Amino acid sequence: MHSLRLVVSPHPHLHSGQSLSAMMQQIMIALLPAVIFGVYLFGFDALRVIILSMGSAVGWEYLIRKASQRPGRLTDLTALTSGLIFAMLLPASIPWWIILLGTLIMIGLGKEVFGGFGTNPFNGVLIAWVVLKMSYPDFMLDWPAIAMNADLATTPMEVFKTQGPSFVQESFSLSEMFFGFTTGPIGQGSAFCLLLGGGWLLYKRVVDWRIPLCYLAGVFVFSGLFWALQIGSGNADPLFHLFAGGTMLAAFFLATDPPSSPTTPDGMILFGLLAGVLTAIIRMWGIWPFGACYAVLIMSMFTPFLDKIAPEVYGR
């Protein structure tokens, strides 16, 4: 009888306008200072790694989705973004085939075997990083010398681990480490650039403040406690722990990976704090200098458990 055809759908009929691809865009924008600084430090080589990593991540995702006959998801930009974050962790000198292998592991093992972005229990970037670190330690530790610090081709965290904190003080000033005039992976040296990006993400509310700030607090307080009370030898300035070893990258770009981090406010706080403490523990007593990535990866195993710390339901 009525000719008008109205649209019917479940509520709500409005939306915030936030989208996954917009969030990923913001993350890439936030990494821009670190990318520019990395290219400035390591030259064209760094650019090569970044482009290869982003390009191959997209390529692998396309192929895997195609082969498994599922609709493509490239427009959500998660592959592109994780390609960029992955490149941040690599040395500029790394051979092309290792990059391709890494991104295959990142997309395949880290994401697609679990069904795609969202259902993966671990951060694919870290899975790929660990596999490469174990399989090709030499390539992964082959830091190119940089013009400002030509005679020392090791990262501050490696100096700390192999030669002790007093050598760190001799070789690097805090401001050198803060601004990132040290060698190392392409995008993790400059705490300053990463802080800029991290601040941007917090300002844009792409990332909740709880995980990054609690993570930084965890690192700072735990390492600071041992340093201030001088428990044992081999303690470094907590600021060193904040600026070196990729702490900032882990805080804002790795620990905040939504699928592998908790969803509840209290869970996020605990996750951040514990990952921070674990980072310091691995650095201080572990045999590896790269505590930040390991700590975040290990903590993401606790995510299902931390998600149980749900808010107290209304009226219960």
Partner 1 sequence: MEIRSLQTPGSLNSLKQESVRMKAASFQGGLALPVPDKFESQAITTLPAPDRVLLPLLHHPEQAYELQVKKGALIKQGQPVGEGVSSLVLAPISGKVEEINKNFKLPGGALTTAIRIAASDEEFPDEAPPAVPDSGTLQKILGTGLSELSESPVPLFEKLRSIRSKRVRTLIINCLDEFFIQGRSAALASQHTPDLLAGIDLLVQYSGAESAVITVYAESAQALQSLQESGTKCHILPVKAKHPQHAEKLLVTAVTGREYDVDLTPEDLGVSVISAETAYWVSRAVNRREAALDKLLTVAGGSLKEPRNCFVRIGTPLQEVLTHLGQDIADGDKVILGGPLSGQAVSDPDTPVTQQTHLVFIQKKTDLHVFSQDAVCFKCGLCVQICPMRLMPFLISGFSEGGLYDLAEKNSLFTCIECGCCAYVCPVNIPMVQWIQLGKSAIRAQRS
The nearer residue to partner 1, 258 or 286, going by C-beta atoms, is: 258
Closest distance of CB 8 from partner 1, Å: 4
Site string for partner 1, 4-23 (x = CB under 8 A): xxxxxxxxxxxxx-xxx-xx
Q: Are 169 and 177 in contact (CB under 8 A)?
A: no
Q: By CB under 8 A, is residue 112 in contact with partner 1?
A: no
Among 114-122, 139-147, 212-220, 287-295, the segment contacting partner 1 (CB under 8 A): 114-122
**Segment 45 to 74, residues that bind partner 1, using CB under 8 A:** 71
Quick one: which of 95, 118, 137, 234 contacts partner 1 (CB under 8 A)?
Answer: 118
**Residues with Cβ < 8 Å from 245, sequence gap 6 or more?**
155, 156, 157, 188, 279, 283, 289, 290, 291, 292
Site string for partner 1, 188-217 (x = CB under 8 A): --------------------x---------
Closest distance of CB 15 from partner 1, Å: 5
Closest distance of CB 119 from partner 1, Å: 6
Among 196-204, 212-220, 242-250, 256-264, the segment contacting partner 1 (CB under 8 A): 256-264
> What distances in angstroms separate CA 214 from CA 30, 97, 144, 234, 298, one per listed residue?
20, 37, 33, 24, 16
Closest distance of CB 258 from partner 1, Å: 4
Closest distance of CB 48 from partner 1, Å: 30
Closest distance of CB 198 from partner 1, Å: 17
Q: How far apart are CA 250 and CA 215, in angstroms?
A: 9
3-state secondary structure the chain: CCCCCCCCCCCCCCCCCCCHHHHHHHHHHHHHHHHHHHHHHHCHHHHHHHHHHHHHHHHHHHHHHHHCCCCCCHHHCHHHHHHHHHHHCCCCCCCHHHHHHHHHHHHHHCCHHHCCCCCCCCCHHHHHHHHHHHHCHHHHCCCCCCHHHCCCCCCHHHHHHHHCHHHHHHHCCHHHHHHCCCCCCCCCCCHHHHHHHHHHHHHCCCCCCHHHHHHHHHHHHHHHHHHHHCCCCCCCCHHHHHHCCCHHHHHHHHCCCHHHCCCCHHHHHHHHHHHHHHHHHHHHHCCCCCHHHHHHHHHHCCHHHHCCCCCCCCCC
Quick one: which of 263, 288, 301, 305 contacts partner 1 (CB under 8 A)?
Answer: 263
Site string for partner 1, 123-162 (x = CB under 8 A): ----------------------------------------
Closest distance of CB 302 from partner 1, Å: 14
The nearer residue to partner 1, 15 or 67, going by C-beta atoms, is: 15
Quick one: which of 265, 285, 288, 305 contacts partner 1 (CB under 8 A)?
Answer: 265
**Segment 296 to 315, residues that bind partner 1, using CB under 8 A:** 307, 310-315
Closest distance of CB 82 from partner 1, Å: 12
Structure tokens at 297: 């990866």
Quick one: which of 68, 75, 119, 173 contacts partner 1 (CB under 8 A)?
Answer: 119
Residues near partner 1, by CB under 8 A: 2, 4-16, 18-20, 22-23, 71, 76, 115-119, 208, 258-259, 261-265, 268, 307, 310-316
